[in-house]
A = this chain, B = another copy of it.
Amino acid sequence: MYIVILAGGSGTRFWPLSRKSTPKQLMSVFGGKSMLQRTVERVVPLQPKRILVVTNALQAAETRSQLEYIKGVPVDVIEEPIGRNTAPAIGLAASIIARFDADGIMAVLPADHYILDEERFRDTLIRARDVAENGTLVTLGIAPTRPETGYGYIEAQENYGEAPAKVARFVEKPSLERAMEFLATGRFYWNSGMFVWGACAILDQIKLFMPELSSALAKLTFERDVWEISDLKPQIEEIYAGIKGESIDFGVMEKAEDVQVIPASFGWSDVGSWSALPEVMESDQDGHVVINAQGSVSVGSDGCLAYGGGKMVAFVGVKDLIVVDTPDAVLVCAKSAAQDVKKVVEELERRGKSEYL
């Protein structure tokens, strides 16, 4: 199996820790290793043939630098000159893999998701690969644990428990009422954005549903018969100049006939904002999640999240707050308003304060 990691996101919702040059996947969101490093380490035990990390020019140097220490599996960093959503990134990786390994199976993984049970995650990928070997497109559907309105859903035709099922349709983020109906049926899963398929299988589907992208990708040729990503740079730039952005969900998955969903329950979060961290990290004895701090003191407080910038953090009489301290900016935010952190970024952009972006 090949692993394709999509690492081009910009993630304004983790401001002030995330910036244009260090988006969420390159950040040490949980303290210690970055989300990208965790994503890569999580698949190394699968002994994949190669790991392809697709990122953009602004983040390429930091991405390479963060992955230098990975041993035992070759890691390629593929640089997109400009972000064009997931379909071109996936198509590009698939084209490279297919060129050298026509039967190659690839798992597509976002670089910035949280996974609790890594062993179970790898088992799920292996089961997905077995299904994908029949030429099917496989998507990992997360068994929902609550009527979440922040995720898209996948409806399966049948509920076969842990076994793969044919996808009936993909559904956009629902209302709470609909989300509750979804959960009641037992046939709906969260759309995790994780896929497993043959490189040729997805290229066939791109050809069918995204002919422009397919033609553009067809221009990719290898001068030498060696796997050397840096050779491709001028061609990738030319290809990207002529294509438009599109997600693989909209471009292919929602239209393709033969898509299977593998129910997955390894504990997952897309870590969409600061408020997602407390859901996936253990609280301390005071009920706070404190990351990257020299310790904390809590007086009449609970339910806070602090990213402490290496400092002592003190909470006094506060509840359900997010505090993020970085060298040049500090954020205080109600957990319930975590989605609005992107408005701060918009306001700073409007003011031309690029040093904080």
A binding-site residues for B, Cβ under 8 Å = 15-16, 294-295, 297, 299-300, 304, 306, 308-309, 311-318, 321, 323, 325-334, 336-338, 340-341, 343-344, 347-348, 353, 356
A311 CA to B308 CA, complexed, in Å = 14
A281 CA to B88 CA, complexed, in Å = 54
A193 to chain B, nearest CB (A): 26
Given A330-B330, A347-B299, A318 and B321 touching (CB < 8 A)? yes
Taking a contact as CB atoms closer than 8 A, the residue among B308, B311, B313, B316 that contacts A340 in the complex is B316
Chain B, Cβ-Cβ closest to A316: B333
A239 CA to B13 CA, complexed, in Å = 62
A326 to chain B, nearest CB (A): 8
Check B330 against A311 for contact (C-beta < 8 Å). yes
Assuming A16-B312, A315-B332, what are 11 further A-B pairs, CB within 8 angstroms? A16-B314, A294-B328, A306-B330, A312-B328, A316-B338, A316-B340, A317-B334, A317-B337, A321-B321, A323-B323, A323-B332
Taking a contact as CB atoms closer than 8 A, the residue among B294, B317, B329 that contacts A336 in the complex is B317
Chain B, Cβ-Cβ closest to A323: B332
Check B323 against A337 for contact (C-beta < 8 Å). no
Check B297 against A311 for contact (C-beta < 8 Å). no
Check B344 against A297 for contact (C-beta < 8 Å). yes
Taking a contact as CB atoms closer than 8 A, the residue among B316, B323, B340, B343 that contacts A343 in the complex is B316
A245 to chain B, nearest CB (A): 28
Taking a contact as CB atoms closer than 8 A, the residue among B304, B314, B337 that contacts A316 in the complex is B337
A297 to chain B, nearest CB (A): 5
Identify the interface centre among A297, A308, A325, A330: most chain B CB within 10 Å of its CB: A330
Complex contacts, A338 vs chain B, CB 8 Å: 316
Taking a contact as CB atoms closer than 8 A, the residue among B306, B311, B356 that contacts A312 in the complex is B356
Taking a contact as CB atoms closer than 8 A, the residue among B315, B330, B336, B337 that contacts A309 in the complex is B330
Check B314 against A330 for contact (C-beta < 8 Å). yes
A341 to chain B, nearest CB (A): 6
17 contacts between A and B (CB under 8 A): A16-B312, A294-B328, A297-B348, A299-B337, A306-B330, A309-B330, A311-B326, A311-B328, A312-B328, A312-B353, A314-B331, A314-B341, A316-B340, A316-B344, A317-B337, A321-B332, A332-B332
Complex contacts, A331 vs chain B, CB 8 Å: 314, 316
